[in-house]
């Protein structure tokens, strides 16, 4: 059975006090949570989060990483630095990084490669815009984005693949469980064509306005192994409710 995972992506939110309260509330309530759980926080809060969550079994992840290993790159944070403070996974290729910061497929693949070299598991985000979906380009876009990473990183080194339909991020719109399953199955097919049986062990997460009210229906699909959670992860109780969406 594949691992079930929920990952919080706080984006540019948080404060030292808000983070402390979130962790206190989550740890007080999460005793019966059975899925693997991680929180991706802004760079400045990663040391605090690794300290607060030490020994809890909840992983701490970064929201992105530099394509550079080291050197005169002001403002950048390397994979080596993340590993040094105890980060175990990191997002690469999130649609906001692609569209707002111009990170292309090659940059995303290099980020993933840098992470793997330090022992950090990359969570590779792929997904289409509304325009691409309406033009029936979803599979072509996902294939292009995923293939770039798979040329550099084997399936067993991935933390997960996260399918995030761009049109469903922060819009309140959500892909139906059937739509999510269709693309997740396609992603697994792409993985299988490259890596064979290893594809069956790779977690594929859904990321697109997932919330406690729809998590169980989405997670029940055969190829949906959990979620990459944005806005709903800012409240500990909502993130916990999503994590409880897996069938017992």
Q: Is 232 helix (H, G, I), strand (E, B) or coil?
A: helix
CA distance 17 to 19: 5
Distances from the Cα of 56 to the Cα of 36, 166, 181, angstroms: 11, 32, 31
Backbone phi, then psi, for 195, in 5-degree steps? Answer: -125, 0
Q: Which residues are catalytic?
A: 94, 164
Nearest to 101 by CA among 67, 131, 71, 132: 67
> 204-238: b or e for each residue (b if 16 or more CB lie within 10 Å)?
bbbbbbbbbebbeebbebebbbbbbbbbbbbebeb
């Amino acid at each position: 059975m594949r691992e079930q995972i929920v990952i919080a992506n706080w984006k540019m939110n948080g404060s030292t006090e808000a983070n402390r309260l979130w962790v206190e509330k989550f740890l007080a309530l999460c005793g019966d949570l059975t899925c693997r759980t991680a929180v991706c926080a802004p760079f400045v809060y990663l040391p605090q989060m690794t300290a607060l969550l030490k020994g809890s079994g909840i992983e701490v992840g970064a929201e992105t990483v530099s394509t550079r290993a080291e050197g005169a790159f002001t403002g950048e944070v390397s994979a080596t630095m993340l590993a040094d403070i105890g980060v175990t996974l990191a997002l690469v290729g999130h649609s906001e990084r692609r569209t707002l910061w111009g990170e292309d497929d090659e940059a995303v693949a290099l980020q993933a490669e840098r992470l793997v070299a330090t022992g950090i598991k990359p969570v590779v985000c792929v997904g289409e815009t509304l325009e691409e979906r309406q033009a029936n380009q979803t599979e072509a876009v996902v294939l292009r984005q995923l293939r770039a990473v798979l040329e550099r990183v084997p399936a067993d080194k991935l933390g997960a693949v996260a399918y995030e339909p761009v049109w469903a991020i922060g819009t309140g719109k959500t892909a139906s469980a059937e739509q999510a399953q269709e693309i997740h199955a396609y992603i697994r097919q792409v993985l299988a064509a490259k890596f064979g049986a290893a594809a069956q062990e790779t977690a594929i997460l859904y990321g697109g306005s997932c919330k406690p009210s729809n998590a169980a229906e989405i997670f029940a699909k055969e190829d949906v192994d959990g979620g990459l959670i944005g806005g709903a992860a800012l409240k500990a109780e909502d993130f916990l409710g999503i994590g409880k969406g897996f069938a017992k």
